[in-house]
């Protein structure tokens, strides 16, 4: 079977693209190598999705998958290893090859983890990546932010208005974020900046409640009682396998504008794997809709 559209990635962007493509009566196959729903499945509580006062990331993902299946899309759990260009595209996976007229790449970006024992186990159980999403859960509590760049400083500034205490932990001896952000942070009386330190260990039965950091110069170890840790040490876009059909920027993101087009006709990109300033569920869904409509127009013109 030759599908009209194959979508690589089943996060909010990919699943929204599938929904829009099926509504346009296109045959659709969605491929996903990990958890259907993407990074949002790690969020224990989400309150910034239009139409829902509150729900878990898993609940939102389940609703999206159910909706897409109800519309008649096919879903295949597999890893895509290559996309071969042509009038008919060939999508190569670890379970075989599939053909289609258009491809939407919506593989997202993984948050870079600190690399200490058990870090993945604490995601959603004390480790967060988004202060906009999860900051309200730490009102009047103690949190730490790992990182010293712009993203980390922005997270810390936002959290300082909610939490009673914010630690900023940077492995270098200085912060690397913009001077204006550093100045704003220095004005916050409840923020303590610890430079020249790395995360050594995480502690807590089920829920994170303490971290150990190590001073790089001396090896001294310090324990900090915290309620949450916000990790802001970068993202890893999942675009390596698609460099032949995508233009990638210096950070590995698909170099595409808001139109979600790529350098390859019939290949579109959506969501966090695309170069963009704001990475939120709402913007991922918007990308999915835009990419799907563009793909539908492409297929109709063939």
258-286: pLDDT as tens digits: 999 999 999 999 999 999 988 889 999 99
The domain that contains 14 carries what CATH number?
A: 3.50.50.60
Among 231, 250, 271, the domain-final residue is 231
On whether both 120 and 221 belong to a single domain, the answer is: yes
On whether both 67 and 23 belong to a single domain, the answer is: yes
On whether both 24 and 104 belong to a single domain, the answer is: yes
* Separation between Cα atoms, residue 255 and residue 273, nearest integer Å: 9
Burial class of residue 249, CB neighbours in 10 A (0-12, 13-18, 19+): middle
On whether both 84 and 133 belong to a single domain, the answer is: no
Best CA proximity match to 127, nearest among 52, 203, 54: 203
Among 231, 253, 268, the domain-final residue is 231
Provide the pLDDT for residue 2: 98
Q: Give how many domains the chain has, as a whole number.
A: 2
On whether both 59 and 207 belong to a single domain, the answer is: no
Provide the pLDDT for residue 80: 97
**Angle at 22 (CA atoms; ends 18, 25), nearest 5 degrees:** 150
Q: Quick check: is 78 catalytic?
A: no
The pair of three-digit structure tokens given for residue 4, joined into one six-digit string: 């009209």
Q: Quick check: is 134 catalytic?
A: yes
On whether both 159 and 174 belong to a single domain, the answer is: yes
Measured on CA atoms in the order 288, 290, 293, 298, is the torsion positive or negative?
negative
Among 178, 211, 231, the domain-final residue is 231
Catalytic residue among 4, 134, 272, 287: 134
Q: Is the pLDDT of residue 42 over 80?
A: no
Among 32-46, 55-69, 106-120, 171-185, whose mean pLDDT is lowest?
Answer: 32-46
pLDDT, the chain, mean: 94
Q: Is the pLDDT of residue 43 over 80?
A: no
Q: Quick check: is 273 catalytic?
A: no
Q: Which residues pair with 236 in a beta bridge?
A: 110
Domain that holds residue 198: 113-231
Catalytic residue among 130, 260, 285, 296: 130
pLDDT digits (tens, 9 = 90+) for 167-205: 999 999 999 998 999 999 999 999 999 999 999 999 999
On whether both 144 and 166 belong to a single domain, the answer is: yes
On whether both 217 and 123 belong to a single domain, the answer is: yes
- What is the bridge-based pairing of β-strands 228-231 and 142-146? parallel
Provide the pLDDT for residue 133: 81
On whether both 148 and 38 belong to a single domain, the answer is: no
* Separation between Cα atoms, residue 50 and residue 43, nearest integer Å: 16
Q: Is the pLDDT of residue 77 over 80?
A: yes
Which residue would you say has higher pLDDT here, 48 or 143?
Answer: 143
On whether both 100 and 33 belong to a single domain, the answer is: yes
Catalytic residue among 4, 100, 133, 287: 133
On whether both 221 and 287 belong to a single domain, the answer is: no
On whether both 104 and 130 belong to a single domain, the answer is: no
* Separation between Cα atoms, residue 17 and residue 68, nearest integer Å: 9
Provide the pLDDT for residue 201: 97
The pair of three-digit structure tokens given for residue 223, joined into one six-digit string: 């324990």
Provide the pLDDT for residue 235: 85
């Amino acid at each position: 079977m030759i599908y009209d559209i194959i979508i690589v990635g089943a996060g909010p962007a990919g699943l929204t693209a599938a929904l829009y493509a099926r509504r346009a009566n296109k045959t659709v196959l969605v491929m996903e190598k990990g958890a259907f729903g993407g990074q949002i499945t790690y969020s224990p509580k989400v309150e910034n999705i239009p139409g829902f006062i509150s729900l878990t990331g898993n609940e939102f993902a389940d609703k999206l998958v159910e909706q897409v299946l109800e519309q008649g899309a096919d879903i295949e759990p597999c890893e895509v290893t290559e996309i071969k260009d042509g009038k008919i595209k060939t999508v190569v996976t670890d379970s075989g090859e599939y053909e289609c007229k258009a491809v939407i790449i919506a593989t997202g970006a993984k948050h870079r983890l600190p690399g200490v024992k058990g870090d993945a186990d604490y995601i959603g159980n004390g480790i967060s990546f988004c202060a906009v999403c999860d900051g309200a859960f730490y009102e009047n509590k103690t949190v730490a932010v790992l990182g010293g760049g712009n993203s980390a400083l922005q997270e810390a500034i936002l959290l300082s208005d909610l939490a009673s205490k914010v630690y900023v932990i940077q492995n270098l001896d200085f912060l690397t974020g913009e001077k204006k952000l550093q100045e704003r942070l220095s004005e916050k009386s409840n923020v303590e900046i610890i430079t020249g330190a790395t995360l050594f260990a995480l502690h807590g039965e089920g829920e994170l409640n303490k971290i150990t950091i190590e001073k790089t110069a001396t090896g001294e170890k310090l324990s900090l009682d915290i309620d949450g840790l916000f990790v802001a040490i970068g993202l890893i876009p999942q675009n390596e396998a698609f460099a032949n059909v995508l233009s990638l920027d210096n950070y590995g993101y698909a170099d595409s504008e808001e139109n979600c087009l790529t350098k390859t006709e019939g290949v579109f990109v959506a969501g966090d794997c695309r170069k963009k300033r704001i990475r939120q569920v709402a913007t991922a869904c918007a990308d999915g809709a835009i990419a799907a409509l563009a793909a539908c127009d492409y297929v109709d013109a063939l």
